[in-house]
A = this chain, B = another copy of it.
Amino acid sequence: MTEQKEHSPKMKQLIELAAELEDLGHITALMGWDQQTNMPPGGAEERGLQSSAIGRIMHEKFTSDEVGKLIADLEEEVGDLDAETDEARSVKVAKRQYEKQTKVPLPLLMETIQTTTMAHEAWVEAKTKSDFTIFKPHLEKIVDLRKQYAALFEPFDHIYDPLLDDFEPGMKTAEVKEIFNKLRPQQVELIQAIAEKEPPDDTFLKQHYDEERQEIIGRYVITRFGYNWKRGRLDVAPHPFTTSFGQGDVRITTRYLDDDAGSALFSTMHEAGHAMYEQGVPKKYRRHPLSGSASLAIHESQSRLWENLVGRSKEFWSFLYPSIQMLFPQYLSETSMDEFYRGINKVKPSFIRVEADEATYNMHIMLRLEIEIGLMEGAIDVADLPEIWNTKMEEYLGITPPNDALGVLQDVHWSGGMIGYFPTYALGNLASVQLWDKMLESNPNVPDEIAQGKFDTVLGWMRENVHRYGSKFEPQEIMLKATGSKITPEPYIKYLKDKYSEIYNL
């Protein structure tokens, strides 16, 4: 109970402010969740205004001179404390956010919120009709607004840095480029080696699997993983996502495809990985400056770990496959566990990022990063995006999208102004294997446990080494603490090579 020590009056003030902002942030999250799961079309306009209202209130509350003074006073107050105490870190995190937010003029913030609300509706329509011209003017405005935003943070090493830093605190564009430059050739080499081999059969997945039974399996699996239903729920949305309205209410969504049985199950495992992270942050960080997660890459390390390291492993399927086979005898009675395992791990360059296999996924990210950097540097025009997209797809994956819905329009992110977000997906992949390897060092029994349907060692290790820090540390700090190394591509490359060498006889 040493955690429960009395805070100074100013520290209490900071915590109260964080609590208020967290309440408002969670309200915004609820509005977003509802928009994607339930809202009728008529609600869009006022929902945008409602989001703006909360955005403005949060901005005003946080960027006042009093808050600046409070943080300055607190910096002095915690100056003598160990830099790793919660108090010192709370002040550091608050200062970082305050300095970022006070740089942003309210009109720019309001214009960004309103632009992205409208852009989202335009993107939905553009994607439905596969017509980039509908989305183009909105994206042009968003790119312009993002440039204005980045300019507020001059001087910077790179114009992309301020955007990346919003999602990956402390990370630099140069750092990401260096990691990706190491990763790219090895990943391309692997994909080429695989392409020369006979692909496994996966036609058994491309059938009409009953949706209700798919849902039963999804719920069963994540319950065993440790997802807490008293503090969450699962719904259907066009794009799977996780959202939190507080540690007591962390929801996930999935969607059931008519012609791909793997999609819903793997996305459910993925989102449950995100959600278990949010559910696993200690209660002391609830409504607190150190609430939430370290970064999107760390978040993605958790989702990819459950989806891939666990969910696409041989051990996992030796546990689960008999149940699946029982529920879908019409498709699986003739398929052995080994054939099934190879099928779900089939490598095939494809158009859609979220459906990509582990070997090709990062290529989708590198393509997006290059485009985003080009847009921000001014080297790429929005108008040329469809062509550039398709050229890069051909170059990296050897395929050309037949339309923009399967190409440049596939992702929601840019419509929400989220430029700088994509690299965190690839960084999360790398981090997931680093964490996994480290966990295995001290827990070599985990694969056997998984084969028996036991997942508590995995979740417990993540709780202890990742979740328990909330947002106290920057992502690279967490990786150093947990694994002894910053994010690095080698373990991921080794993991992919080992896995696919066995499956493809490389």
A50 touching B31, Cβ below 8 Å: no
Interface hits, A25-49 → B, CB 8 Å: 26-27, 30-31, 34, 38-47, 49
Q: List residues of chain B with CB within 8 A of the CB of A57.
A: 57
Given contacts A42-B231, A53-B20, A57-B57, contact A47 B287 (CB under 8 A): no
A205 at the interface (CB under 8 A from B): no
A43 touching B287, Cβ below 8 Å: no
A249 touching B24, Cβ below 8 Å: no
Residue among B20, B235, B245 making CB contact with A43, cutoff 8 Å: B245
Shortest A211–chain B CB gap in Å is 15
Q: List residues of chain B with CB within 8 A of the CB of A39.
A: 249
* A19 to chain B: closest residue by CB: B49
B41 touching A53, Cβ below 8 Å: no
A165 at the interface (CB under 8 A from B): no
Residue among B46, B232, B235, B245 making CB contact with A246, cutoff 8 Å: B46
A197 at the interface (CB under 8 A from B): no
Tell me if A's interface is mostly helix, strand, loop or mixed. helix
Shortest A100–chain B CB gap in Å is 23
Q: List residues of chain B with CB within 8 A of the CB of A42.
A: 228, 230-232, 247-249
Interface hits, A180-234 → B, CB 8 Å: 228-233
* A41 to chain B: closest residue by CB: B230
Given contacts A23-B53, A30-B31, A53-B20, contact A46 B233 (CB under 8 A): no
A40 touching B233, Cβ below 8 Å: yes
Question: How many angstroms from the CA of A49 to the CA of B286 in the assembled complex?
Answer: 12
Q: List residues of chain B with CB within 8 A of the CB of A245.
A: 43, 46-47, 50
Residue among B27, B41, B228 making CB contact with A31, cutoff 8 Å: B27
A176 at the interface (CB under 8 A from B): no
Given contacts A30-B34, A31-B30, A49-B287, contact A248 B43 (CB under 8 A): yes
A332 at the interface (CB under 8 A from B): no
Question: How many angstroms from the CA of A24 to the CA of B41 in the assembled complex?
Answer: 20
Given contacts A46-B23, A54-B27, contact A40 B287 (CB under 8 A): no
Question: How many angstroms from the CA of A20 to the CA of B55 in the assembled complex?
Answer: 12
Question: How many angstroms from the CA of A438 to the CA of B54 in the assembled complex?
Answer: 45
Give me 8 other A-B pairs in contact (C-beta within 8 A), A26-B46, A26-B50, A45-B246 excluded: A23-B50, A23-B53, A27-B54, A30-B34, A38-B233, A40-B233, A42-B230, A43-B231
Cβ contacts A to B, 22 pairs, < 8 Å: A26-B50, A27-B31, A30-B31, A30-B34, A38-B233, A38-B235, A40-B230, A40-B231, A40-B232, A40-B248, A40-B249, A42-B248, A43-B246, A43-B248, A43-B249, A44-B248, A46-B246, A46-B247, A46-B249, A47-B245, A50-B246, A57-B57
